[in-house]
Structure 1
């Protein structure tokens, strides 16, 4: 059997697992189980639930929002592991001289963000915390390559930046952080699979989790090389990538009750604001076996 791992640029652990095929991390973990590995690159993590259901991939990872929207759309997924919290991964920025001083001041404004990603969770939760609605009180617009410039010229009120974009914006100056991500959500990478694989072949899930941790161990130990890899493939400056990657925790953790509670809170906010059509019970996305077993120890890279 070949295990197909979905890969997209927004998930750092999967990005490195894929680009380190010369080290054979996933293959080494799967071979003792009689399995081989293949990678399926795609551009939008929001599609991960659909690709799992269709059998295009067997395992994937995103930020916090896509698994919730996938559950709402009827995809029967199972959480397998999460990253440690990433409080420095992103931030909601406003111009330095902006009259927007609090989240409440965003009412009636336009905010650019990667709609459908963890950024939706950040903005929706921050607004909900002050009694505002993601659906009714701001105009949420999908970020583009022009978002930073639009923010700097005052054409939009706020912009969620992440990773090298955030590092570059801070290096340039003239912007300030309205919402530090870690003050609102934990912003974890989230890994999940189909229920059938999680419940019938848990040893494969454990092997893939070990491979992810080994990829993370490599990135933590080689930040400059990881930055060069990201800049070459995704664009941006190597120094900005190094700043962004150094801020990540590079640690894979088990699915915890705390994580599930945060996901449930997000699901409730999304449904209340109409971002998802159907209510979601996040606890249903847990394997009926040992879903919360400790992450197996990783091997040295």
Structure 2
């Protein structure tokens, strides 16, 4: 009887071990893609709200995992740690990430706005044009797209960088300084630009369209995932195309979703969409030249220690296939 009991216990133990191994193997074989989440006016957000990513990746037997990471630097830190596979970001963070040796690809252009970065002043300000900025305090975050635009606009207006006093502030801090009157002007990006135009009645004295200069955003893919699973990149961009097209064709409904989910008023949302110029496109020669110029700018600002070749991290293959 004792032998029978021992045999029974041994049998149960073996079953449990085999069961555990099976469960472990099942978990290891589960296919998951991790997408960065952002609460912002962008077709990317619409696609998340409508669960279009889940629908598309389900066709591949892949589960979608969402992770909220705000800001370019934290996004690329997550890439380096293998915690995020796809996301959208501005044009300066990829250069710093490439300089740091983080493996990723730019797999598509998300926007091509020229009015999404601007110099604003209060409605009653005596500042009317770029030349009036001489001797003025200007809120701007250094080594960013905003600062890049400021220097280019100053040069266009015949103003030396040494003729102004840049106050290095992030958007939330800059808004407080600007509305409080401790700076004379603010170089600002979206959605803060549209918010201050609508809510503070600010005037834009110059923006990228003044000098035909684009400040794009990009879709990013972690290189290991793009290389091993090109079907993931195609699935991701397929959803982006669907969402971008849907927004263009259903602008009122899209605006309503943004307004209700993000807590922005309709006028602000409409201006953001107008300024940003959302798209899905490959990185063409003109944008590639612009991106390389931004890399040079960041080097001159001592934000990076060398100038990377930005073409090396550009991969247009999958966006071209999706757009066929």
* Structure 1 and Structure 2 fold alike (TM over 0.5): yes
Matched, 1:273 2:301: yes
- For each residue in 1:184-219, what CA deviation from the matched residue of structure 2 results, as whole angstroms up to 9, or x when unmatched? 431222111222222333232122111111122232
Which residue of the other structure, out of 283, 296, 301, is the alignment partner of 2:322? 296
CA contact (8 A) 1:95 1:174 kept: yes
Could you say if the C-alpha distance between residues 252 and 65 of structure 1 is closer, same or farther in structure 2, counting changes exceeding 3 Å?
A: same
Aligned to 2:62: 35
Shift of 1:151: 2.8
Matched ranges for 1:258-269 at <5 A: 258-269=286-297
Aligned-partner SS, 1:294: helix
State whether structure 2 residue 99 is matched by structure 1 residue 69. Answer: no
- Asked if the contact 2:115/2:209 (under 8 Å) is kept, the reply is yes
Deviations 1:232-264 (A, max 9, x none): 443332332233235543320012222211111
SS in 1 for 2:172: coil
Q: Quote the residue 1:256 is aligned against.
A: 284
Match of 2:82 among 52, 55, 62: 55
Could you tell me which residue of structure 2 aligns to residue 79 of structure 1?
106
- The separation in 1 between residues aligned to 2:63 and 2:166, in whole angstroms, is 47
Q: For the residues of structure 2 that align with 1:30 and 1:60, how far apart are their CA atoms?
A: 15
> For the residues of structure 2 that align with 1:116 and 1:12, how far apart are their CA atoms?
24
Q: Pick the aligned partner of 1:194 from 215, 222, 226.
A: 222
Residue 16 (structure 1) aligned with residue 42 (structure 2): no
CA distance in 1, matches of 2:142, 2:39: 16
Residue 176 of structure 1 and its aligned partner are, at CA, apart by 2.1
Aligned ranges 1:141-160 → 2 under 5 Å: 141-144=169-172, 147=175, 150-152=177-179, 154-160=181-187
Which entry has the higher C-alpha Rg, 1 or 2?
A: 2
RMSD: 3.1
Instruction: Quote how far apart the aligned CAs of 1:276 are.
Output: 2.5
The Cα of 1:65 is off from its aligned counterpart by 1.3
Say if 1:276 and 1:131 are closer, same or farther in 2 by CA, change over 3 A.
farther
- Number of corresponding residues: 291
User: Mind listing any 5+ residue stretches in structure 1 that lack a counterpart?
Assistant: none
Equivalent in the alignment of 1:230: 258
Tell me which protein shows more helix as a share of its residues: 2
Q: Counterpart of 1:33 in 2: which secondary structure?
A: coil
* In 1, Cα distance between equivalents of 2:257 and 2:73: 24
Evaluate the alpha carbon distance shift between residue 169 and residue 236 of structure 1 in structure 2; reply closer, same or farther with a 3 A threshold.
same
Distance change >3 Å, CA 159–CA 242, structure 1 → 2: same
When the two structures are superposed, what TM-score results if normalisation uses the length of structure 2?
A: 0.76
Query: Could you tell me whether the CA contact under 8 Å between 2:117 and 2:187 is conserved in 1?
Result: yes
Provide the C-alpha distance between the structure 1 equivalents of 2:290 and 2:247, rounded to a whole number of angstroms. 27
Question: Contact 1:103/1:178 (CA < 8 Å) preserved in 2?
Answer: yes
Map 1:143-222 onto structure 2 (within 5 A): 143-144=171-172, 147=175, 150-152=177-179, 154-163=181-190, 165-171=192-198, 175-184=202-211, 185-222=213-250
Contact persistence 1:114–1:142 (CA under 8 A): yes
Matched, 1:139 2:167: yes
Q: Distance in 2 between matches of 1:9 and 1:191?
A: 16
Query: How many angstroms does 1:10 deviate by?
Result: 4.6
Cα distance in 2 between the residues matched to 1:32 and 1:292? 18
Cα pair distance change 1:141/1:163, threshold 3 Å = closer
Question: Structure 2, unaligned stretches of length 5 or more?
Answer: 1-30
Residue among 77, 88, 111 paired with 2:138: 111
TM-score, structure 1 normalization = 0.81
String of CA shifts for 1:63-101, please: whole Å, max 9, x gaps.
Answer: 111111212222122110003412333422023454545
